[in-house]
Structure 1
C-alpha cells in the first residue's frame, strides 16, 4: 500500500455548484436548519406495497411536482428527484454556465445509482393483468436501465461530453465524484456534473428487509441499541470544474475489500486504506482534518468496522458524525448527498451531530458527536462504503 508521501498530488478542483434534495427538504437552507436543530426527516413507512413496520426518508410531494413534458418518456420517481434537485437554488443554471464556458462536449457527466428507475417497473408489474404486453409507458432504456437517469440528465441539460453511470452500491455517488475528478485530471473534460440519485422502491425495502438489516424504529447510528438502517431517497449533485471559485475537492481514495458481499472486515482495513489514500492525494496529515463525516449506517457490523478504521487513522479523535439518522440511507446517492450536506455545514459554521444517537456503544472504537454545535471546519473527510467491499473516501476543503 502506498504511503502518504508516495501518493501523487491532486490538483485542487473547484466545486462550483452543489445541491441536495432529501426527506428534510430541498437545498442548503433546509439542510442547514435540520443539521443545526438535530431534526430528522424520517417517518413511519407509508410507501405503497410495504407490509412490514419500518421508518423511511421519503421526499414529500415529489409525485406532484411538475415534470418537463419534452422528457415525459423518462418520467419516474428517480428522475423526478433529479429534476427537483436541478431546479433547486438555480443549480441547472450553474450547469448551463459551465457548458457556456467550456462547450457542451467538454462537460462530462458521471452519476451514481443503485436502483435507477426500477420503481416504475414495480408499478407496471403491480398493475399488469398477467396477460398481454406490459404498459407501453414502460421502457427499459428510459427507466430500469442503470444508465437511464444519466441519459435523462444529458438530454435535459444538453451535456455532450463523456457520460456514464457508476453502480457500486452505497459508494456509487462518491465514486462518481472521484471519476469526475479523474476525467478532468486526464484532460478529457474541463467540467463534470457528478452526483447520485436513488428513490424509494420495493426492491430496496424488501431486499434489505430480507437481509434483516431494516430497523423497526428510526435508525440509531453507533448507538448501543442500534439494530439496522432506515432507507431514504434523494438526489445530490456536485459540479466540478478545472478552475473557478468555491470549495475544493482536495483528495480522494478508493479500495476494494474483496472479503464478503455484505459484511466488511471487522477492523475496516479497506476503509483505512481509502482514507490514507485520500489524505495522501490531499498532501494532508490526519491531524489536519477537523471533521469526519462517517458512513454510519446503524447496522451492527458496518458501524463496528468503520469505528475501528476511523480510530486507527485519527487516534486523536476529531469530531465525527453520521447523517443517516437525519435523512436515512440514500443508498447509491449517499456519497454525493452527504458530501453536499458536509459542505453546507462547513460553510455555515456547524459541526454536525448524529441524530438518533443517545447511548454510544462502548464496544466501538470512537464516539461520534451526539449534538450539533457551532464551530469551524476547513477540511473534512467524507466516507462512503458499499456492499461488496467498495470503499470511497473524499477530502473536502474550503477555499
Structure 2
C-alpha cells in the first residue's frame, strides 16, 4: 500500500456499448454502435438512445423504496465486482467501506409513471415510493445491499456527477475516513431528460457527430459504472483530479473554455505531470455546437495538437450523471494490466472537420498501435460550468 495513492482496483460496467468489459472493448474496437431509435420518452419523435437492452437483475428485497430501474442498473454493475467488494468489507470492516454514487435521474422514471397513473385514476400506484427519486437513493441502496456502513451519499452535479464521485472517493481515502470506497455513477432514461434536452434543441435525430462541422446534438443514454477504490496497489491508479465551477450560464459553457482549461491544468498539477505526459484524452465530446467549440479551444490551449483523443459518446450516448464514471471505466480498460492487448477507443464521426475549431488528433479504428498508453485524462463538463478532469495512470 502506498500512502496517499489511490487505485481503482476493480470495475463493473453496463451501458449501450455493452454489459461487460470485453463486450465493450470488442464493440469499440470494431466500431459497432448499438444506439436504439425510440419515441418512448418523447412521443411522436424518435431519437437514437443509448439504451441498455440486456435484462437487468431483480432487486433482492421487497422494500419498494429500492425498486427502480436505476437501482437495477447499479446492481448489474455491482454484481460484476461483488467478490472484490465483499473481500474488502471482510478485510477492513463494514464501517470502513464508503459508498459514493453520482446520478442525475435516480428513480425519476418511476415517478413519471406514478404521476401519469395518478392523473388518470387519482390513485398513486401501491408499488411506488417517493424515495425512489431521491438523489442519494442509489448510494443508500448499494450500501444496504452490501451491508457497508461507512460514509454513504450521492452526488448530483449533472454530467460531472460520476467523475466527482471518484474524486470524492480519493479525498475520503486520503483523509483516512475509510479504507475502501464503492464509487461511480448510474443514470437511466426518462422523459425528464429526453424531453428536457429536446426543449433545449440539443438532441440529434441521428447518431451524434462530435467535433464535426455537421454536429447537431447529443444522444441521451443510460448505464452504470462502479469501482472498488482503495489504497491497495492494483488495477489502475487515479493520480490526479481538477475541478472548477465557472458559472458562466445555466446551460451553455463558457465559450473559450476558461473553466475547462482551469480543471485540466489543476488535474495536471495535482498529478504532478506535464501536458506532454498525457497519452490520450477522453473528451467530454457531446456533439453540441457550443460544447465542442469550447472543449476543442481548451484542449488546444493546454495540450499540443498531437495528443490522441476521442469522444466515446457515439457508442454509449450521453449518460449524464453516469457519463464521468462510464468514461472513467473506458479509461480503466485502456490501462488495466490484465488486458493482453492495447485498446484505444476510436472517435466515430463523419470526418468533416469544422474550420472554426482547432484541429484535434482524433483516434481512428486503427489507432491501437500508434502510441503506448500509460497516462490518460478524462473530461466531464456539466450545466452551470461544473467541470472536472481526472487523470489515470497504468501501474508500472
TM-score per shorter chain, which class?
A: over 0.9
Aligned-partner Cα distance in 2 for 1:313–1:249: 20
Question: Match of 1:213?
Answer: 202
Aligned partner of 1:29 among 19, 22, 37: 22
TM-score normalized by the length of structure 1: 0.93
- 2:377 corresponds to: 381
Q: Secondary structure at 1:350's aligned position in 2?
A: coil
- What is aligned with 2:84? 94
Distance in 1 (CA, whole Å) between partners of 2:102 and 2:163 is 8
Equivalences for residues 294-309 of structure 1 within 5 A: 294-309=283-298
Q: Deviations 1:191-232 (Å, cap 9, x if unpaired)? A: 111100000000100000000000011111111100000000
Structure 1 residues 338, 50: closer, same or farther in 2, change over 3 A?
Answer: farther
Offset, 1:316: 4.3
Describe the SS at the equivalent of 2:11: strand
CA distance in 1 between partners of 2:64 and 2:84 (Å): 24
Q: CA separation in 1, counterparts of 2:135 and 2:121? A: 27
1:56-78 CA-partner distances (Å, limit 9, x unpaired): 01000346x43324555411111
1:371 paired with 2:361, answer: no
* Gap runs ≥5 in structure 1: 1-9
Contact 1:352–1:372, Cα closer than 8 Å, also in 2: no
SS of residue in 1 equivalent to 2:240: strand
Of 93, 98, 108, 1:108 maps to: 98
Distance in structure 2 (CA, Å) of the matches to 1:260 and 1:286: 28
11 and 310 in structure 1: CA distance in 2 versus 1, 3 angstrom threshold: farther
1:103-182 to structure 2, matched below 5 A, reads 103-141=93-131, 143-182=132-171
Quick one: distance in 2 between partners of 1:240 and 1:124? 36
How large is the RMSD of aligned CA atoms in angstroms? 1.6
Q: What SS is found at the alignment partner of 1:377? A: coil
Secondary structure of the 2:14 match is strand
Inter-partner Cα distance in structure 2 for 1:246 and 1:128: 48
Q: How far has the Cα of 1:352 moved from its partner?
A: 1.8
Match of 2:43 in 1: 50
- Deviating beyond 6 angstroms after TM superposition, the runs of 4 or more aligned structure 1 residues are none
Kindly state the Cα deviation for residue 173 of structure 1 after the two structures are TM-superposed: 0.6
Task: Please tell me whether the aligned partners of residues 319 and 351 of structure 1 are also in contact (alpha carbons under 8 angstroms).
Answer: no
The equivalent position to 1:256 in structure 2, one of 245, 249, 258, is 245
Residues 222-272 of structure 1: CA distance to partner in whole angstroms, max 9, x if unpaired?
111000000000001121102231210010000001110111111101111
- Provide the C-alpha distance between the structure 2 equivalents of 1:116 and 1:357, rounded to a whole number of angstroms: 34
- Name the counterpart of 1:12: 5
Contact 2:150 2:178 in 1 (8 A): yes
Kept after mapping to 1: 8 A contact 2:12/2:79: no
Equivalent position SS for 2:154: strand
Q: CA deviation at 1:183?
A: 0.6
Say if 1:62 and 1:80, in contact at 8 Å, map to a contact too.
no
SS at match of 2:118: coil
Gaps of 5+ in 2: none
Match of 1:80 in 2: 72
1:289-328 alignment, distance < 5 Å: 289-328=278-317
2:204 partner SS:
coil
